[in-house]
Structure 1
Amino acid sequence: MDTASSSGAVALANPWAVVPPLGNLDAYITAVNRLPMLTQEEEQRFARELRDDDNLEAAGKLVLSHLRLVVSTSRQYLGYGLPHADLIQEGNVGLMKAVKRFNPDQGVRLVSYALHWIKAEIHEYILKNWRLVKVATTKAQRKLFFNLRSMKQGFKAEDAEADITHRDVLTDAQIDVVATQLNVKPEEVREMETRLSGGDVLLDPTPADSDGEQAFGPIAYLSDAHHEPTAMIESAQRDALATEGIATALKSLDERSRRIVTERWLNVNDDGSGGMTLHELAAEYGVSAERIRQIEVAAMKKMKAALAEYA
């Protein structure tokens, strides 16, 4: 088996040989999580090679570097009782469709573009293989149904932690919480709660009750936004910039500029107080306040360039 190149890209005649088959799910996930991520420059280069030269090896490298995104996204839909391996496989189909359609000149990373296609394939698979109760016929009702179903599980977990016997029927206080969070009336929550206690009937629209909403998929409201891969990546990037990135940028400054920026912007309280003023720094260095301001502006520009390079 070939190994990753020094640039971090995977160089394989057969890119798929680097991961085991989905039959061994644990081994597959472990192998996928060890695959190197592509830099933005590598991603752009491979995408152009695929688009301009129909280079399938470049397509394989793009797919391989984003398999972990499929694994992460598929975990959001394990509550349907469908095999995890099947969810991953359908997500991989969506990833390959995204790679095929990806335009490197649009100014977005493949991770953001591919997420839509991955979810679309998983959604389609679930809708074809799972039946829900038909308790919601409109788009708003479906949104309420799926969110209510999820929130009831949360209430059940809270009751268990507090050693409270959970009841299937929501309390008035819980209904008010649901209504507030979902921006609906308490009466609508109670009505949906009543429907939930009914029986299982078909949820998917049929030609007989066609109302123009057959294409709407309530599954769009099921994923947990807090664990959405793109949001998690962006959060990690922000945390890195706020710690290592700032420290790296400060190191690019001379001692005086670094102290001015630190005293002016970093040594402050949450209410904005605590930092030194331009006049205080000017008196300390024996220069004018305008000169301190000029040094500060130049230092901030240099730090911005350093942060852009770090990112």
Structure 2
Amino acid sequence: MPRKRLTPSGGTVNPPPPLNGHSLIDGEDGASEIAGPDADSEAEPAERRPELAAGESEIGNTLQTYLREIRRAPLLTPQEEFETATRARQGDFDARQAMIERNLRLVVSIAKNYLGRGLPMPDLIEEGNLGLMHAIGKFEPERGFRFSTYASWWIRQSIERAIMHQARLVRLPVHVVRELNQVLKARRALESQMPSGAEGERQVRVEDVAAALGRPVQEVAELLQFAEQPTSLDAPIDRHPADGNSETVLDSVADDGASDPMSLTLSNEVERLLEHGLDELNDREREVLAGRYGLRDREPETLEVLAERLGLTRERIRQIQQEALIKLKRRMLRHGIDRDSVF
């Protein structure tokens, strides 16, 4: 049976409902973990999603229930926070639980700034809760700071590390994730100030974000590229095809290294005509062209090498080459092939 948890005022608060089938467990020794099955579906706040499928709707309802539950726990006053944090630091388990439950709303307010980064809202909240519990173990109330100010850093760090490790196929360094968060935050702020476009979307230019941050446009553009989510090559192009057989992204991606059948056929035809053209030349012309252009599996040779090997002058070799090319050009032109496409 789940136990009731005492609050500083002496009342009791039920533990918040699990997210995505997870439950937040905090042990007597202060160790914390997330228990429950892995979540395969993503959920977003209601205002950000048009229509959810049956499974997604269930997750969304669970999230809404969780948000309603945590709003029932009143926030701690500065005096209550100091007393509760002091008892928690001394090892009082109920005080520690009260610090967690009274600050869950802080986690949600921070987690919503990371939507669209690859992790669903329930996962962002779970990771933020881990950061919250870590902050409680480090917090020193006697220093005079409010806990929310201190805990915010730990919550953001926990969420950012989760995004870095779990949300991307290619891992990003922590400092890049932090800079990307700044850029996305600036873009969201600009979007909120702009009127909706024709399709209800607010279009913010990269130049506007760069100007707001005082950073180079190219640098901001490169950071925004990291926010794009990769698409699987096996993803269907049409999720609801009429014939039931949808092409995948892989089917529509061109292979730049593949040979074009038409080009390959033309190349084979040119080689055939070239071989016949060489056979029509005399032995000396054929030898000069084969040596100069590396034909018939030979290595290309310079005019000097050919002149020495054939016992002719360099100028005579050049003349033979030109005469042979003219003969080949005429033959190629009769078949509609320009000599420049061959040599």
TM bin (shorter chain)? 0.3 to 0.5
Larger Rg: 2
TM-score (normalizing by structure 1): 0.47
Q: Which has the higher helix share?
A: 1
TM-score (normalizing by structure 2): 0.43
